[in-house]
Amino acid sequence: MSEAEQQELLRLENRLLEVLTDVARLRIRMSKGSARVAADDQADLPQDLIEVGVAAELAKRPSDTVRLWCRTHPIDAGGFAMRLRGRWFVSRRLFLKFLHDRP
């Protein structure tokens, strides 16, 4: 793969993550009973979603363990994880807090 193709792939992957983050924000708003998009709602929505593999590296645990934690700590129940199109994503800030607070 050429350098230009690699850069284009990286740009597209970053854009995809932005779109998935927007979808997650909308799902959270809808789960709170309001599908209306308001600028002030942005403060309480995750701006820092990462993939399970990245979270696993942060936690120094296998990805399967992080996926288990995701299932038991969904963001709409006060946790750190959300599922989008069959894949788990993690709020980096909330996940680091979870790791810090674990015994």
The owner of tokens 């894949």 is 87
Evaluate if pTM is beyond 0.85: no
39 pLDDT higher than 50: no
How far apart (Å, rounded) are the C-alpha atoms in residues 34 and 5? 41
Question: HSE of 45 in the Cβ direction (CA atoms, 13 Å)?
Answer: 19
Q: Is 49 helix (H, G, I), strand (E, B) or coil?
A: strand
Q: What's the Cα-to-Cα distance from 55 to each of 3, 7, 8, 41, 75, rounded to whole Å?
A: 28, 24, 25, 25, 15
- Kindly provide the residue ranges of all beta strands, DSSP E only, lying in 2-86, ordered along the sequence: 49-51, 81-84
Tens of pLDDT along 83-93? 888 889 999 99
Output the average pLDDT for the chain: 82
Q: Where are the domains positioned within the chain?
A: 3-37+47-101
